[in-house]
Amino acid sequence: MLKLLGRRLLATVPLLFLVSLVVFALVHALPGDPAVLFLGEEADPETLARFRTRLGFDRPLVVQYGEWLGRALRGDLGRSLRTNQPVTEAILQRLPVTLELMAAALAVSLAIALPMGVVSAVRRNSGFDLASTLFALVGFAMPTFWLGIILIYVFALLLRWLPASGWVPLTASPGDNLLALILPAFTLGTALAALVARQLRSGMLEVLRQDYVRTAQAKGLGQGQVVGKHALKNALISVVTVVGLQLGGLLGNTIITETLFALPGVGRLMIDSIFSRDFFVVQGVILFLAGGYVLSNLLVDILYSYLDPRIRVH
């Protein structure tokens, strides 16, 4: 296990380095001069030059990248050009909203996918199975922003059951926090639910054909015992893998969801920073998201090695 963990950690180092290089290049390729953007077109050349010198924008890009990477390795991602707030502090300030949204979306997806996948496998080719297949196709193919708009129109504008946007912290009002979280969680979790349901159905069908399941059935065990104690446990291994690998994608999709529902999370921070050409914040958030994606994959590798001893490295 330690060898596996060590190899995975070493593999993340060049990956994160490459991500930081690409992020830095793309951010600095954005059109517009940040000095003119923040000081205005009326600013005189000397003021613009001082601004660029103070932030290091007058130096070669290689030097700028080296300085930024060196600070990032020490946990310093720079300061926001708009608010002068440390980027790390800004990310940590908004991180609870993003984590709460991801947890709610994951809970919604599993609540939908687990019973749907099990029943679809047990009642193969039934009406429920066909409806489950249709849900999976539509849920996985529909863009997140389009599903969010539909949910807002139906449940917020027509029925007026839920708020269309906004955020209430959990500590301020748990009830209002839950209401503000329902639509974003369903928007973010539907695609994952569709994927997990199909994966679980496939895994269940494969397990139900195994000899030990047939033996359990031959012993006279009820369907609930056969499915719950024998089939589901083994079919969940592939589901854990899929969910873990999709956590990184879920983190990336929060950008769209938080923007659509006006949630003050990390994704919304990045969108606002892109529009304002706040280079340091954009670089820091993308690097943070990439790190989260790599970390989720690392955790899946470790968890999978526990679930399936055949892949353990001694």
Beta carbons of 4 and 305 less than 8 angstroms apart: yes
- Write the DSSP symbol of residue 311: G
Q: Residue for token digits 């369907």?
A: 223
| Per-residue confidence (pLDDT) for residue 306, from 0 to 100 | 65
Domains plus CATH for the chain?
Answer: 87-311 (1.10.3720.10)
Instruction: Spell out the residues 6+ positions from residue 164 whose beta carbon is closer than 8 angstroms to its own.
Output: 152, 156, 157, 183, 261
pLDDT along the chain (314 residues), means of 10: 67 80 79 71 80 79 85 84 87 92 92 89 86 88 90 92 88 89 92 88 78 66 62 74 77 87 90 82 85 77 65 50
> Cβ distance 163 to 173 under 8 Å?
no
> CB within 8 A of 54, min separation 6: which ones?
none
Determine phi and psi for 236, rounding to 5 degrees.
Answer: -70, -15
Give residue 304's pLDDT: 67
CB 242 within 8 A of CB 196: yes
Strand residues in 71-143 grouped as ranges (E): none
Confidence (pTM): 0.81
pLDDT at 314: 46
Q: What pLDDT sits at residue 23?
A: 81
- Which position has the token pair 């047939």? 214
Alpha-carbon distance of 146 to 139, in angstroms, equals: 11
Token reading at 75? 């946990």
> Residues, the chain, total?
314
Residue with tokens 């748990």: 174
